[in-house]
């Protein structure tokens, strides 16, 4: 498909974080953008302010004439009236992943994959490259605070994308560089089991990488890619690694170690000043990152490995990691005072919850940690109920909300209580989105975290206002 010939594009589910990034891409190229979404949000309001036309009723009569292409997200059900209308009249309908795949084939692409770590790492790669003189475009799965957008427009032919494993979407991509951050079991409603997720998901994805390209894999996952030429990263392990990780004055600090052969001498001659070298490795000591947690140190190592391959210098790496402001809802500090700290995080998988809790414990040892968690999806709650119970037991106090269904219908017998009943921590309570604020008012709060990927984000501002008044 030749995108340059398109004049009018319609997005079904335009308010999604991935959909809106593609809408912004085409809007910036002069196409007329129209779309439907279920509800008006702060993001859809921004899209309208950028010149797009959006409505919120399932109503084919509001579709404009002359649409050349429809972009559809599977979050919109197949029985949706507008989708059925487009399929009836024969206008080309493509999934978001297909469109992103076409974009990737027309550019040099860096694809970041993993059941978690994608958004932070792809945003870090974007900030490192742009700080280092590589003017990349980026399609991100969250709002990067440095750019206040999920889409970053660049002028080079490098594009950074998130490689989404859901629905095997990432198999549409054709990357030149890929990174795999994690492969914890998830989306088992799609894959069936963990082995299939590895085989028909991630192992199939690396086959799509350019034969002359680079594949960076977390060191503990290298065993799954023995037939591929991969480069490894990690904390205290891997070819690219962070060593001597510590917390200093609220910063996570580490030494970055990498093979000397990884430095791109031709791309940017200033990289000849690579710092401390020994035994075929470089060592950049005392790298500081504003993103808390060892999992984010690992993300920073992977992003830095990609950046140095494309010629970003040590000084620019240091500057970019220190000035990276993070992602909305990824360990985002909402409120900080002498009495109380409030952090909002998107964590919706047991591994992500454990990582967020671990980061708080390292930053604020000895402080009482209260968490509000909203499970996301009935299937994920059913599949990982034991893992959720164990992860939430790491909190000092937990308020557990009802399940956010998203695209799913209820599953008999699956409620938040199946997690609640397996938790060993006695300081726990079941709450609803309507009464949670009242429950909080009777708590002694030192550090509070909201955790989850559903509509728990609508509680962030009310909680923030309450904490400000209380203090």
pLDDT for 274 equals: 54
Say yes or no: 143 and 186 in one domain. Answer: yes
* CATH code of 47's domain: 3.40.50.720
| Residues 456/450, Cβ–Cβ less than 8 Å | yes
* CATH code of 375's domain: 3.90.190.20
Number of neighbours of residue 415 by Cβ within 10 angstroms: 17
| 369/285 Cα distance (integer angstroms) | 32
**pLDDT exceeds cutoff 90 at 277:** no
Q: Which is more confident, 34 or 263?
A: 34
Say yes or no: 52 and 126 in one domain. Answer: no
Say yes or no: 66 and 194 in one domain. Answer: no
Say yes or no: 82 and 127 in one domain. Answer: no
The pair of three-digit structure tokens given for residue 308, joined into one six-digit string = 């140095």
Pick the last residue of a domain from 275, 291, 323: 323
pLDDT tens-digit series, residues 78-121: 899 999 999 999 899 999 989 999 998 889 999 999 988 899 99
The set of residues, in sequence order, having a beta carbon less than 8 Å from that of 102 and lying 6+ positions away, is 1, 3
Say yes or no: 58 and 155 in one domain. Answer: no
- Domain coverage including residue 9: 3-94
| Termini Cα distance of the chain | 57
* CATH code of 248's domain: 3.40.1190.10
Number of neighbours of residue 68 by Cβ within 10 angstroms: 16
Inside any domain, residue 100 = no
pLDDT for 266 equals: 45
Say yes or no: 116 and 73 in one domain. Answer: no
Say yes or no: 84 and 116 in one domain. Answer: no
pLDDT for 52 equals: 97
Q: CA–CA distance from 412 to each of 373, 378, 409 (Å)?
A: 21, 9, 10
| 466/463 Cα distance (integer angstroms) | 5
Inside any domain, residue 102 = no
| 132/153 Cα distance (integer angstroms) | 16
Pick the last residue of a domain from 60, 94, 128: 94
Q: What does pLDDT average to over the chain?
A: 90
DSSP state of 234: E
Per-residue confidence band for 275, with pLDDT thresholds at 50, 70 and 90:
low
Over range 169-194, report the average pLDDT: 85
Say yes or no: 439 and 301 in one domain. Answer: no
Per-residue confidence band for 276, with pLDDT thresholds at 50, 70 and 90:
low
Identify each DSSP E strand in 249-306 by its residue range: 251-259, 276-278, 281-289
pLDDT tens-digit series, residues 184-231: 877 677 777 878 888 878 899 999 999 999 999 999 999 899 888 999
The pair of three-digit structure tokens given for residue 432, joined into one six-digit string = 């609803």
Say yes or no: 159 and 279 in one domain. Answer: yes
Inside any domain, residue 99 = no
| pTM listed for this prediction | 0.81
Say yes or no: 70 and 121 in one domain. Answer: no
Q: How many domains does the chain have?
A: 3
Inside any domain, residue 50 = yes
**pLDDT exceeds cutoff 90 at 415:** yes
Pick the last residue of a domain from 26, 61, 94: 94
Say yes or no: 65 and 212 in one domain. Answer: no
| Residues 22/99, Cβ–Cβ less than 8 Å | yes
H/E stretch holding 121 reads helix 118-131
| 145/159 Cα distance (integer angstroms) | 19
**pLDDT exceeds cutoff 70 at 147:** yes
Question: Which of 338, 344, 353, 296 shows the shortest CA–CA distance to 449?
Answer: 344
The set of residues, in sequence order, having a beta carbon less than 8 Å from that of 389 and lying 6+ positions away, is 419, 422, 423, 424
Say yes or no: 29 and 136 in one domain. Answer: no
């Amino acid at each position: 498909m030749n995108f340059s010939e398109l004049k009018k594009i319609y997005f079904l589910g335009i308010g999604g974080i991935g959909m809106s990034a593609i809408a912004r891409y085409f809007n910036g190229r002069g196409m007329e953008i129209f779309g439907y979404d279920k509800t008006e949000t702060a993001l859809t309001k921004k899209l309208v302010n950028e010149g797009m036309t959006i409505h919120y009723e399932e109503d084919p009569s509001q579709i404009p004439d002359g649409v050349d292409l429809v972009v559809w997200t599977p979050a919109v059900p197949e029985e949706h009236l507008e989708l059925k209308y487009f399929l009836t009249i024969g206008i080309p309908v493509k999934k978001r992943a297909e469109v992103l795949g076409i974009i990737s084939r027309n550019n040099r692409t860096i694809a970041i994959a993993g059941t978690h770590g994608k958004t932070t790492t792809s945003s870090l790669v974007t900030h490192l490259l742009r700080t280092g003189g590589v003017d990349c475009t980026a399609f991100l799965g969250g709002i990067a605070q440095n750019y206040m957008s999920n889409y970053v427009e660049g002028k080079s032919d490098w594009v950074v994308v998130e490689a989404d494993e859901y629905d095997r979407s990432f198999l549409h991509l054709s990357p030149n560089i890929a990174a795999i951050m994690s492969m914890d079991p998830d989306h088992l409603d799609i894959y069936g089991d963990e082995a299939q997720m590895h085989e028909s998901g991630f192992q199939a994805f690396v086959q799509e990488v350019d034969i002359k390209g680079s594949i960076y894999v977390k060191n503990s996952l290298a065993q799954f890619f023995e037939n591929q030429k991969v480069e490894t990263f990690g904390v205290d392990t891997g070819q690219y690694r962070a060593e001597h990780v510590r917390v200093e004055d609220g910063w996570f600090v580490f030494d970055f170690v990498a093979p000397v052969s990884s430095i791109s001498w031709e791309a940017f001659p200033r990289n000849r000043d690579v710092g401390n070298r020994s035994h075929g490795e470089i060592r950049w000591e005392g790298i500081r990152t504003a993103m808390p947690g060892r999992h984010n140190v690992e993300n920073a190592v992977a992003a830095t490995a990609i950046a140095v391959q494309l010629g970003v210098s040590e000084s620019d790496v240091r500057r970019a990691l220190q000035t990276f402001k993070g992602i909305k809802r990824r360990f985002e500090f909402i409120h900080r005072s002498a009495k109380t700290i409030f952090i909002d995080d998107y964590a919706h998988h047991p591994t992500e919850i454990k990582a967020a809790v671990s980061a708080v414990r390292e930053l604020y040892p000895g402080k009482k940690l209260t968490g509000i968690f909203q499970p996301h999806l009935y299937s994920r709650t059913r599949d990982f109920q034991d893992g959720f119970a164990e992860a939430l037991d790491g909190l000092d106090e937990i308020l557990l909300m009802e399940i956010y269904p998203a695209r799913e219908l209820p599953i008999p017998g699956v409620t938040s209580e199946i997690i609640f009943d397996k938790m060993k921590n006695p300081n726990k309570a079941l709450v609803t989105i309507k009464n949670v604020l009242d429950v909080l008012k009777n708590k002694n709060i030192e550090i509070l975290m909201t955790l989850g990927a559903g509509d728990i984000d609508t509680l962030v501002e009310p909680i923030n206002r309450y904490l400000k008044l209380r203090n």
